Amino acid sequence: MTETTWVHMLTVVGAFVGMFYGLNIAYKRMKSKDQGFGPNSLKAIGISFFVPTLLILAVTTDFKAETLAALLGTVAGYVLSSGGKDE
Cα 44 from chain centre: 9
| Residue-level pLDDT at 84 | 60
Separation of CA 77 from chain center: 13
Q: What is the pLDDT of residues 18-58, one digit of tens each?
A: 999 988 998 898 888 887 777 777 788 888 888 888 888 88
0.85 exceeded by the pTM?
no
For residue 87, the model assigns a pLDDT of 45
Where along the chain do its domains lie? 3-80
Q: E strands of the chain, at which residues?
A: none
Q: What is the pLDDT of residue 21?
A: 92
- Rounded distance between C-alpha atoms, residue 30 and residue 48, angstroms: 15
